[in-house]
């Protein structure tokens, strides 16, 4: 029986043992791209397939996927989603967040079960307090590389030895950065480092390709979990609840499988 808390501590133990792994998250945005639906997230509109509503996103969160234009990048996302190897953990959008039909679609599209399936929300909601208090301190034990938006500040992270920056719609516009990162790892013989990704859908492609070719390091998609330390917006419900005391059920939510 899978456990939301148990899977979290599985990653914590790997960090403590310094055993390399990758945690790659496929949230609802990636789900829609995998389903080959047009996706637009910006200040003017939020569009998924044929459904559109008023926009509410800030510039650093803008995302645009057009099936006809971006098939190459979707194919790389499919590669990341279907990749299987030791300690490559794939976080799926759970049924309590995207519904039974979408949850089942992911399993069928993947082509079968994977022992390393876990939750896309593994570091947030009911696990976020544990992430801050028990996982985040472990980052100090590593030489850490951060991949994040070019607007983010890293001044509060003394453990960071290198950063790579991305901009708008990074999965498409910054795709070439993956190869530059790979070359940096190879040329500098980088091993035993921790790579933290806060770069939207770009993170999924980069984590897959870097772990496949440079598996002596650990790669974690941290999403927006460290926004309070990076001078980024606290616009997610779990962040507002934990840091600002806003009443929201998400901070206690235990996602189901």
User: Do 177 and 166 meet the contact criterion of CB atoms below 8 Å apart?
Assistant: yes
Lowest-confidence region among 53-57, 71-75, 76-80, 193-197: 53-57
pLDDT, one tens digit per residue, over 65-111 is 999 999 999 999 999 999 999 999 999 999 999 999 999 999 999 99
Domain for residue 123, yes or no?
yes
Domain for residue 176, yes or no?
yes
**Regarding predicted confidence, which is higher, 97 or 50?**
97
- Give the HSE-up count for residue 155: Cα atoms under 13 Å, Cβ half-sphere: 4
User: Do 251 and 229 meet the contact criterion of CB atoms below 8 Å apart?
Assistant: no
32: domain range?
Answer: 4-37+76-252
Residue 198 to residue 149: CA distance in whole angstroms: 7
Give residue 56's pLDDT: 59
Lowest-confidence region among 137-146, 207-216, 239-248: 239-248
Domain for residue 63, yes or no?
no
113 pLDDT band (50/70/90 cuts)?
Answer: confident
pLDDT, one tens digit per residue, over 129-171 is 999 999 999 999 999 999 999 999 999 999 999 999 999 999 9
Give residue 60's pLDDT: 67
**What is the distance, to the nearest Å, from the Cα of residue 183 to the centroid of all Cα atoms in its chain?**
22
- How many domains, the chain? 1
Cβ count within 10 A of residue 167 = 15
Give residue 122's pLDDT: 98
Domain for residue 49, yes or no?
no
Residue among 229, 249, 228 at smallest CA distance from 238: 249
Output the average pLDDT for the chain.
94
User: Do 79 and 208 meet the contact criterion of CB atoms below 8 Å apart?
Assistant: yes
Domain for residue 116, yes or no?
yes
Domain for residue 58, yes or no?
no
Q: What are phi and psi of 123, to 5 degrees?
A: -100, 0
Give residue 1's pLDDT: 79
Determine whether 220 is exposed, middle or buried from the number of CB atoms within 10 Å of its CB (0-12, 13-18, 19+).
Answer: buried
Residue among 242, 251, 12, 21 at smallest CA distance from 135: 12
User: Do 239 and 163 meet the contact criterion of CB atoms below 8 Å apart?
Assistant: no
Q: Which residues pair with 90 in a beta bridge?
A: 24, 117
């Amino acid at each position: 029986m899978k456990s939301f808390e148990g899977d979290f501590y599985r990653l914590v133990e790997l960090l403590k043992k310094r055993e390399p792994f990758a945690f790659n998250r496929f949230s609802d945005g990636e789900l829609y791209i995998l389903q080959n639906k047009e996706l637009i997230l910006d200040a003017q509109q939020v569009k998924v397939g044929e459904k559109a509503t008023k926009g509410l996103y800030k510039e650093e969160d803008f995302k645009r996927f057009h099936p006809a234009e971006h098939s190459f990048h979707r194919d790389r996302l499919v590669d990341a989603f279907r990749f299987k190897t030791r300690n490559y953990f794939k976080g799926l959008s759970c049924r309590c967040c995207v519904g039974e039909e979408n949850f089942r679609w992911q399993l069928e599209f993947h082509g079968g079960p994977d022992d390393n399936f876990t939750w896309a929300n593994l570091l947030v909601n009911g696990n976020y307090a544990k992430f801050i208090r028990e996982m985040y301190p472990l980052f100090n034990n590593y030489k850490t590389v951060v991949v994040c938006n070019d607007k983010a500040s890293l001044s509060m992270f003394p453990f960071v030895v290198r950063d790579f920056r991305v901009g708008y719609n990074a999965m498409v516009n910054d795709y070439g950065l993956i190869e530059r990162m790979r070359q940096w790892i190879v040329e500098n013989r980088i091993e035993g480092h921790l790579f933290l990704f806060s770069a939207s859908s770009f993170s999924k492609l980069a984590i897959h390709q870097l772990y496949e070719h440079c598996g002596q390091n650990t790669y974690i998609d941290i999403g927006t979990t460290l926004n309070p330390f990076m001078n980024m917006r606290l616009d997610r419900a779990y962040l507002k609840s934990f840091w600002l005391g806003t009443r929201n059920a998400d901070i206690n939510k235990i996602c189901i499988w």
